[in-house]
Structure 1
Amino acid sequence: MLGPQGKRDEDFPWWLVILVFTSLWLFWEVLSRDYYTAVLQTLAKGIGVTVAVAVIAYLGACLIGLGLAVMSLSRHLILRQIARLYIEVMRGVPIIVLLLYVAFALAPALVAGVNALAGEEVWRPRDFPLIARAVIALMLAYSAFLAEIFRAGLQAVPVGQIEAAQALGLSGWQRFRHITLPQAFRLILPPLGNDFVAMVKDSSLVSVLGVADITQLAKVTAAGNFRYFETYNVAALLYLMMTIGLSLLLRRVEARMRSR
């Protein structure tokens, strides 16, 4: 159905209006009820951990994913096969399984390997923080998905521009840095932003390792006060504030890039 301006009525963000009113109601509950305020004060301590885990893991995943994308487009068969093997394995393993594997299998094996190379015990498993293991697991998991995004973006750059840069005498690295990567980044910004929002949500999985993020603090708080409804309402509100805020910010960035 078309409105008076020729636009579809459903284009109006009614979903955002509903979320705003719901959030305002929850905020009112938090401000007017003491137990909500106490829960918020407790869970707010995990915001820093959640953000740190998501940002560090995502940046590392971007670096690994970009390297994998370049390998998958390499002229060398071995590099392409290694990249494809890594991507398929990581995409096929659930993130929570990968978290447990890295935390309780890979990390102890890494510590044992370092000690074997040193010939003595220079590192103990307990010296490998659980939060570091969680970040590594998320980094490995998301790098496979980001690799496919980077690969698609790199392949979308017109071949004629790369050939023109080559004719001008630019080296392979210069072509990649000045021609291919900037154009590919503009194309893949939306899916990269979506994956970062997903990373913020999936960072809640680190609670299975006891990392004191929002979800873990919510579990501990609810187990202590038995107010599961109120506690998880606040946890959901905190995640919604972060994810919706990021989504709206990314839309503005995309709109500005399209207008240039």
Structure 2
Amino acid sequence: MTSFPRPPQPPQPVAESLLKRVFGFRTRLYLTWAAMLGLFASFFLSFDLKFSIILDKLPNLIGLHLAPNGFLQGAALTLFLCLCSIVASSLLGFITALARLSKSAVAFGIASFYASFFRGTPLLIQILLIYLGLPQLGIVPGAIAAGIIALSLNYGAYLSEIFRAGIVGVPHGQREASLALGMRESVIFWRVTLPQAMRTIIPPTTNQFISMLKDSSLISVMGVWEVMFLAQSYGRSSYRYIEMLSTAAIIYWLMSIGLELIQARMEQHYGKAYKQRS
């Protein structure tokens, strides 16, 4: 009788190292963050900070108290500016993206001109043109309104390209398959194309919102009592710039972390269909 060789045995799994078995990925991630935070704190502590000044001005920087004019101030005002600008810029960017994708030469021309101008000029110049230029036309916006308009117009131009790229990136076969099922164009866009585009739109869009959060500090040139304006004012009055600027930097960082967490949840929601199933 002919004997056949035994089939090769599958390779045995290599035992994981003791470090990986004891410390999982999440644990090692938290330890890395803790180490980086320790180095970060030691760097700022080397500045010989005077914490009594920070604790005295922190409620105003956060926005726990109202400004002398009875409105928001500090981080609360910064969040208000950004939230209004996020809503307006998203609507403006979405409309501009649709105009860029339309077959109308007029709509395409207006949208492309708008995007080119506001992406090609500095945000600070746009803020000053709106705040100082509109009164010469008989329109006198307040400093907060001018800041919201400038941020919305500037970031709406950038978001239009992100939205357009996300919509174009959806495979054309999705639309053809939907048409074969008898779906209308409007239903295809809202139920098929846009949900798939959101997966690629969300990360760069959130990145723009974080940049907007930081660029809102430019509105301080108009005397708006947001975080940067208060930090500079308190630094000049107490001659302790490092304390105030460091506190302002940490406040901006914490607010941007909040946006990052929202981004992670939205990515998780729109990426359900792309997760590997065990």
TM-score of the superposed pair, with normalisation by structure 1: 0.81
Larger-gyration structure (1/2): 2
Q: CA deviation at 1:107?
A: 5.1
Aligned residue type for 1:232: L
Q: CA deviation at 1:250?
A: 2.2
Aligned residue type for 1:91: R
- Is the 1:39–1:234 Cα contact (8 Å) retained in structure 2? no
Q: CA deviation at 1:199?
A: 1.1
Q: 33, 53, 69: which is aligned to 1:16? A: 33
* Partners of 2:266 and 2:96 in 1: CA distance: 26
* Partners of 1:141 and 1:238 in 2: CA distance: 24
Number of paired residues?
237
Q: 141, 145, 170: which is aligned to 2:154? A: 141
CA RMSD of the aligned region, Å?
2.8
* Partners of 2:97 and 2:79 in 1: CA distance: 26
Kindly report which structure 2 residues correspond to 1:223-238, keeping only aligned pairs within 5 A, or say none.
223-238=236-251
Deviation per CA, 1:64-91: give whole Å up to 9, x if none: 1011111111112222122111111110
The aligned counterpart of 1:57 is 85
The aligned counterpart of 2:122 is 94
TM-score of the superposed pair, with normalisation by structure 2: 0.76
The aligned counterpart of 1:71 is 99
* Partners of 1:248 and 1:209 in 2: CA distance: 31
Kindly report which structure 2 residues correspond to 1:72-221, keeping only aligned pairs within 5 A, or say none.
72-106=100-134, 108-109=136-137, 111=139, 125=140, 128-221=141-234
Do the aligned partners of residues 71 and 167 (structure 1) sit closer, same or farther apart at CA in structure 2, a change above 3 Å counting?
A: same
1:170 partner SS: coil
1:219 partner SS: helix
* Partners of 2:259 and 2:39 in 1: CA distance: 18
* Partners of 2:181 and 2:123 in 1: CA distance: 45
- Is the 1:23–1:237 Cα contact (8 Å) retained in structure 2? no
Q: Which runs of 4+ in 1 moved over 4 A?
A: 11-15, 22-27
* Partners of 1:257 and 1:13 in 2: CA distance: 26
* Partners of 1:13 and 1:247 in 2: CA distance: 16
Point out the structure with the larger helix share.
1
Identity of aligned residues (%): 33
Do the aligned partners of residues 110 and 149 (structure 1) sit closer, same or farther apart at CA in structure 2, a change above 3 Å counting?
A: farther
1:145 partner SS: helix
* Partners of 1:168 and 1:256 in 2: CA distance: 26
2:271 partner SS: helix
Structure 2 gap ranges (5+): 1-15, 64-73, 274-278
* Partners of 1:169 and 1:102 in 2: CA distance: 48
* Partners of 1:55 and 1:22 in 2: CA distance: 33
Is 1:36 the equivalent of 2:77?
no
1:211 partner SS: coil
- Is the 1:107–1:133 Cα contact (8 Å) retained in structure 2? no
The aligned counterpart of 2:66 is none
Do the aligned partners of residues 180 and 259 (structure 1) sit closer, same or farther apart at CA in structure 2, a change above 3 Å counting?
A: closer
1:187 partner SS: helix
Deviation per CA, 1:136-191: give whole Å up to 9, x if none: 00000001100000000010112122123334443332222212211111221111
* Partners of 2:227 and 2:103 in 1: CA distance: 45
* Partners of 2:191 and 2:78 in 1: CA distance: 34
Structure 1 gap ranges (5+): 112-124
Aligned residue type for 1:149: I
